[in-house]
Amino acid sequence: MNLPNSLTLVRMFLVPLLVVVLLTEFDGPRILGVSKEFVGAVIFGLASITDWLDGYLARRRKQITWFGQMMDPIADKLLTSAAFISLVQLGAAPAWMVALIIGREIAITWLRSVAHAKGVTIPASRLGKIKMATQVVTILLLMLGWGPLPALAPLGQGALWLVMATAIVSAVDYSRRFQRLTGARVTDLNLARRRTDRKAS
């Protein structure tokens, strides 16, 4: 367990805290004088920073591990999915749009699991990183717009469409890379088996 992996786990532990802060009915709409949406935005912002920081530290320290490659995207999906679902519950985001976005995340997680079973690791692409960045900005706009800064709400609603577009495009790109990499893996395995059979004969 190294520092990058520890940051990934911290991000996962922040997910239930975020949901509790956003969805718990307190005595008022504020926590210690601050709106709960603002507190939620701070928690989400800190968790999002760990996403960048753990990747940076893993590359800088050369501590890229299988655990980190598998758990980092799962932690990202848990964080954004929990935030989007909470926003739907608050009435700050349309349920059908969030359902499509989360459905995409589940599909990609399934493809990643299938690829891993085939012995293939599919790294995050530039499109995937853009998708994650647009999700983070959109969620922050929606949280702040629903709470202390209502002027940001229209920007958040508009940004949701950008999230959907990047999610769809990155999903298509991911599925193509999945087919290419897993297909190449199967071909390599078949060639290796043929060579082994030839040597055995």
User: pLDDT truncated to tens, each residue of the chain (201 aa)?
Assistant: 688 888 889 999 999 999 999 988 766 666 667 888 899 999 999 999 988 888 888 888 887 777 777 788 888 889 999 999 999 999 999 999 999 999 988 888 888 888 877 777 776 678 878 888 999 999 999 999 998 899 999 999 999 999 999 988 988 888 888 888 777 654 555 555 556 655 555
Residue 130 CB neighbours (<10 A): 14
Q: What is the domain partition of the chain in residue ranges?
A: 3-200
pTM, two decimals, is 0.83
Widest distance between CA atoms in the chain? 79
User: Distance between alpha carbon 26 and the CA centroid of its chain, in Å?
Assistant: 29
CATH for 3-200? 1.20.120.1760
Q: What is the helix, strand, coil percentage profile of the chain, to 5? A: 85, 0, 15
**Rounded CA separation 183/139 (Å):** 36
In sequence order, the 6+-apart residues with CB closer than 8 A to the CB of 22 are: 36, 37, 40, 83, 86, 87, 89, 90, 143
Helix (H) or strand (E) run with residue 31 in it: strand 30-31
Nearest residue to 44 (alpha-carbon basis) of 72, 4, 84: 84
> How many helical (H) and strand (E) elements, i.e. helices and strands, does the chain have?
6, 2
Is 138 in contact with 163 (CB distance < 8 Å)?
A: yes
